[in-house]
Amino acid sequence: MAYVHKVLGSDLLTAEQQEELNTLSEASHHRDTMRFTALDAVHLDEYYKLCERLQREYYLEREIEDLPVA
């Protein structure tokens, strides 16, 4: 079972991005339930960076959509 952190705009993710997010979110769940290893720390850092990147992309897309048509 994948433990997915809800990211703003995650409904707009491609299948590849969703799979990447699901994989990395497992590190977050693992951290809360088991021994936290150095590899988990790397995965968790990647997960948070991915969340931030996806949110930036979401906001950029929203800004483009909100621009008035000339």
Task: Confirm if 58 and 12 have CB atoms less than 8 A apart.
Answer: yes
pLDDT at residue 48, rounded to an integer: 87
Asked if the structure places residue 30 within a domain, the reply is yes
Asked if the structure places residue 6 within a domain, the reply is no
Alpha carbons 39 and 42: distance in angstroms, whole number: 5
Asked if the structure places residue 38 within a domain, the reply is yes
Q: How many domains does the chain have?
A: 1
Asked if the structure places residue 57 within a domain, the reply is yes
Asked if the structure places residue 56 within a domain, the reply is yes
Domain span at residue 20 reads 13-66
Asked if the structure places residue 1 within a domain, the reply is no
**pTM reported for the whole predicted model:** 0.44
pLDDT at residue 70, rounded to an integer: 55
Low-confidence ranges of the chain (pLDDT < 50): 1-5
Q: What percent of the chain has pLDDT over 90?
A: 0
Asked if the structure places residue 34 within a domain, the reply is yes
